[in-house]
């Protein structure tokens, strides 16, 4: 019987998950995997707990949010893939000397589709001595709507992921001011599942982590055009040149890990952002919310 893997959101920075399917990595690792999609990102964790999937990919934020609501929850993270924040600030005018303090005088359109990008950015602001509440922020529009507002001149800067950024640059509408990846490791996307499911299907999950580890090695060797061509079927509306530019940027920023270990430093950086934004308190401890034993077992095979 196939393992059911739940997609939480269609996004270009999830390229390794799509590439694993496109390159038949799961079958080569010895497991059959079927992908389903969550109705919304927020419903991914509840879908797992309801038994609609065996595991999901998504942010450790979802695991921490579920722990916050139910301290008895047994969801656990494993197999990290996206190890840095993939969001960017794109402004209407060039600003090569940009500093976060410049947002004090800008009209910002932040991401509304998911909470993590703003929670991480507001923490960056706090660390820079800036009160996020004093930023002129539009918080209730989609990234597409914010991009249109940037072009119309009613916003000065927008918070987006790829391919929005590369599209704005190609159209001559925007300029990259800030890459959140530059703050350093921030655990952004991994597999997660109930601990009981991991125990019951450990052999299959080991195969899945093996497949992701192999895909991450391939991603490290591939260029943006090769990655774009491999996952193009998942993004039929995005021109190949834009998708390739997106992946070149993400490779340069070190968005994807070289192996599926989820580091404590990246997890704690994320947790600090969620705590400072009032999203969780105190957030699930690393030792309870992360299981690196599967990744460690797979890495031991190649040593």
Closest by Cα among 135, 247, 254, 119 to 184: 254
Domain-by-domain residue ranges, the chain? 3-84+185-301, 88-183
Give the end-to-end CA distance of the chain in Å, rounded to a whole number. Answer: 31
Mean per-residue pLDDT for 139-159?
97
Strand pairing partners for 88?
160, 179
Mean per-residue pLDDT for 53-70?
92
- With a cut of 70, say whether residue 27 has pLDDT above it: yes
Largest CA distance in the chain: 56
Q: What residues have CB less than 8 Å from 115, skipping those under 6 apart? A: 61, 279
Give residue-wise pLDDT tens across range 236-285. 999 999 999 999 999 999 999 999 999 999 999 999 999 999 999 999 99
Closest by Cα among 187, 165, 176, 11 to 84: 187
Q: What is the pLDDT of residue 41?
A: 79
- With a cut of 90, say whether residue 24 has pLDDT above it: yes
Contact yes or no for 62/192 (Cβ under 8 A): yes
Domains 3-84+185-301 and 88-183 share a fold: yes
In degrees and rounded to multiples of 5, residue 78 shows phi and psi of: -160, 160
Give residue-wise pLDDT tens across range 202-243. 999 999 999 999 999 999 999 999 999 999 999 999 999 999
CATH classification (class only), 3-84+185-301: alpha beta
Q: What is the DSSP string of the chain?
A: --EEEEE----GGGHHHHHHHHTTHHHHHT--EEEEE-SSGGGHHHHHHTTS-SEEEE-HHHHHHHHHH-TT--EEEEEEEE-S---EEEESS--TT--GGGGGGSEEE---S-SHHHHHHHHHHHHTT--GGGSEEE-SS-HHHHHHHHHHTS-SEEEE-TTHHHHHHHTTS-EEEEEGGGG-----EEEEEEHHHHHHTHHHHHHHHHHHHHHHHHHHHS-HHHHHHHHGGG-TTS-HHHHHHHHHHHHHHT-B-SSS---HHHHHHHHHHHHHTTSSSS---HHHHB--HHHHHHHHHT-
Give residue-wise pLDDT tens across range 160-196. 999 999 999 999 999 999 999 999 999 999 999 999 9
**What predicted TM-score, i.e. pTM, was given to this entire model?**
0.95
Instruction: Give the domain 88-183 fold.
Output: D-Maltodextrin-Binding Protein; domain 2 (3.40.190)
Q: What is the mean pLDDT of the chain?
A: 95
Tokens 């390229």 belong to which residue?
15
Residue 215 to residue 18: CA distance in whole angstroms: 10
């Amino acid at each position: 019987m196939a393992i059911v893997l739940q997609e939480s959101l269609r996004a270009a920075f999830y390229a390794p998950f799509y590439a694993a399917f496109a390159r038949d990595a799961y079958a080569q690792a010895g497991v059959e995997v079927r992908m389903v999609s969550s109705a919304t990102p927020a419903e991914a964790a509840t879908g797992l707990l309801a038994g609609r999937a065996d595991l999901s990919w998504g942010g450790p934020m979802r695991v921490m949010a579920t722990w916050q609501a139910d301290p008895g929850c047994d969801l656990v993270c494993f197999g990290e893939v996206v190890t840095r924040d993939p969001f960017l600030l794109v402004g209407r005018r060039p600003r090569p000397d940009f500093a976060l303090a410049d947002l004090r005088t800008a009209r910002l359109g932040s991401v509304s589709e998911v909470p993590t990008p703003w929670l991480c950015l507001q923490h960056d602001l706090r660390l820079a001595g800036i009160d996020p509440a004093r930023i002129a922020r539009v918080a209730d529009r989609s990234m597409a709507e914010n991009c249109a507002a940037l072009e119309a001149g009613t916003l000065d800067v927008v918070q987006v992921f790829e391919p929005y950024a590369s599209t704005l640059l190609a159209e001559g509408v925007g300029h990259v001011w800030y890459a959140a990846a530059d703050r350093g490791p921030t655990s952004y996307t991994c597999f997660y599942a109930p601990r009981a499911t991991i125990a019951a299907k450990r052999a299959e999950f080991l195969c899945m982590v093996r497949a992701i580890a192999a895909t991450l090695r391939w991603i490290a060797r591939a260029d943006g055009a090769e990655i774009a061509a491999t996952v193009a079927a998942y993004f039929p509306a995005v021109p190949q040149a834009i998708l390739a530019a997106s992946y070149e940027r993400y490779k340069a920023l070190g968005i994807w890990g070289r192996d599926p270990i989820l580091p404590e430093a990246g997890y704690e950086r994320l947790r600090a952002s969620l705590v400072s934004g009032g999203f969780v308190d105190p957030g699930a401890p690393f030792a309870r919310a992360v299981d690196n034993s599967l990744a460690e077992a797979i890495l031991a095979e190649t040593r």
